[in-house]
Amino acid sequence: GRKAQHANYPISLPTLPIIGSLLHLGNHSQPHLLFCNLQKKYGPLYSLKMGSNYMVMVNNHEHAREVFLKKGKDFAGRSHTVTTDLLSRDGKDIAFANYSPSWKFHRKLVHSALCMFGEGALALEKIIAAEAASLCQTLIDLRNQPLDMAPELTRAVTNVVCSLCFNSNYKRGDPEFESMLRYSQGIVDTVAKDSLVDIFPWLRIFPNKDLETLKRCVAVRDVLLEKKLAEHKEAYSDNTVNDLIDALLKAKLNMENNNSSTLSKEVGLTDDHILMTVGDIFGAGVETTTTVLKWAVAYAMHYPEVQKKIQEEIDIKIGFDRQPMMSDRSRLPYLEATIREVLRIRPVAPLLVPHVALKDSSIGKFNIPKGARVVINIWSLHHDEKEWVNPGNFDPNRFLDDNGNLVHTPSPSFFPFGAGIRVCLGETLAKMELFLFLAWLFQRFTVEVPEGHTLPDLEGKFGVVLQVKEFKVKARLREVWKDIAIRT
């Protein structure tokens, strides 16, 4: 229990109700910025109470490292919330499930399934390349119009995850695919808008309309997932594991055959678990990667000199006679550096998903009570002036040495994927996708502001991911390609 009187808890914000209202007024409606700024007054570690939730805000990398790594197990919990319980059938997934044998088991299963597909990395590379080719063809077809690239990027990334989860693939305009894009957007809009409600409980105002939308979209998603599961059960054969659903089914059948009923009770590999786990990978796989691609395009438009350098590097190291491959990664340090800089300056998950203290513990010299929600402000870490020179400036060179080689880590204050027990499960996949999609794109196109339009807004919209506001692009086919038939 708590040693309430004597414990040395982090400094607590005095004006708690005001935080909530601050966020709903004026320009400060971006929690990651507000909580970053509050450091100036309260220091890097402070607490606040929202309703009955005691929250601890972490703003520097020393403290983050303790939460992620040094005391990772103390802080590996998640809490139940209305919206995530809706999304995950009370935490029968990975991202929103509390630390438990069942969570551990599912995470391991998915991890080894992803590794397996990664080992057939060739296969994964082929899948991504096919989607990149199709994306580029679409851009050629539409190149004379000011284009919102978001749906095209989403389509490409969704298809990669579809191959992984369902071993299926969609053509442009497929109704099932379109419905999938719609419900996913609906979930992001409502779960993520202001309404991350009780994932971030200071966002109190939760219009019922949004909750209805969320429920409706989750229901549509569930019908689709259930259909996929039924099809996979029908077609399942022991010796061919084609995708994530097969891998999960195989684990389930193994467990049932082994009669290890205690184990299966404990970890509960039910249909619900399979569905929610796949839903998680699907959601996490699409929204995050697509968002980074959008940010990368937006920054390339703002910084034509960066775009030019990426293209020069590609022209020299790959040329125009062949497609970019994963094996080119080490030869394109400038592109790598740009990807890292995008992940730094606009972290996908600026406040992660709150961790929960599973027992009484400590951060720095402060005690943290069991049950506290610990929010790590990745935005603060990535914009820490003690760690980064002019952190607000976009500059891929900070990740390169004087010879243009990648530096291992210019600062330890860099955690775009988190770290430790709850580290992102899709980091490897995400990095593959970012590298290949962007290499294909910049090999062929220059992205610019279409006539009569303005540069993208770089501010971002806080939500379950830090979203880019919609913008229009002109994807201009580069001169050299005009004479070359696109090789796909």
Nearer to ligand HEM, 186 or 285 (CB): 285
Options 19, 36, 38, 95; binder of ligand HEM; rule CB under 6 A: 95
How many whole angstroms separate alpha carbon 146 and alpha carbon 415? 35
Shortest separation between residue 198's beta carbon and ligand PLO, angstroms: 14
Interface residue with ligand PLO among 33, 38, 164, 284 (CB under 6 A) is 284
Residue nearest to ligand HEM (CB): 426
Interaction mask 220-259, ligand HEM, x per CB under 6 A: ----------------------------------------
Instruction: Return d(Cα 324, Cα 317) in angstroms, integer.
Output: 10
In the chain, the amino acid numbered 278 is: V
- When CB distances are held under 5 to 8 angstroms depending on the partner's kind, the choice from ligand HEM, ligand PLO, none that residue 244 binds is none
Footprint of ligand PLO on residues 165-184 (CB under 6 A)?
184
Q: Which of 412, 387, 409, 389 is nearest to 400 (CA)?
A: 409
Mapped onto helix, strand or coil, the DSSP state of residue 406 is strand
Residue 107 touching ligand HEM (CB under 6 A): yes
Choice between 95 and 275, CB closer to ligand HEM: 95
Q: Which amino acid is at 415?
A: F
Minimal CB distance residue for ligand PLO:
283
Residue burial 241-271, b: 16+ Cβ < 10 Å; e: rest:
bbbbbbbbbbbbeebeeeeeeeebeebebeb
Site for ligand PLO (CB under 6 A): which residue of 287, 313, 328, 433?
Answer: 287
| 8-state DSSP, 144 | T
What lies within 8 Å, CB to CB, of 16 at 6+ separation is 48, 49, 50
290 touches ligand PLO (CB under 6 A) = no
Total site size for ligand HEM, rule CB under 6 A: 23
Residue of 165, 214, 430, 473 that binds ligand HEM (CB under 6 A): 430
Residue 98: CB minimum distance to ligand PLO, A:
14
For 35-59, the DSSP string reads HHHTHHHH-SEEEEEETTEEEEEE-
- Using CA atoms, how far residue 13 sits from 203, 238, 432, in Å, is 17, 57, 42
Furthest CA-CA distance within the chain = 76
Under 8 Å between Cβ of 436 and 324: yes
Q: Would you count residue 95 as binding ligand PLO (CB under 6 A)?
A: yes
Task: Write out the DSSP string of 237-291.
Answer: -TT---SHHHHHHHHHHHHHHTT-HHHHHHH---HHHHHHHHHHHHHHHHHHHHH
| Residue 354 C-beta: closest distance to ligand PLO, Å | 10
Could you list the residues that contact ligand HEM (CB under 6 A)? 94-95, 107, 280-281, 284-285, 288-289, 292, 348-349, 352-353, 416-418, 422, 424-426, 429-430
| Site for ligand PLO, rule CB under 6 A | 87, 95, 184, 187-188, 191, 280, 283-284, 287-288, 348-349, 352-353, 464-465
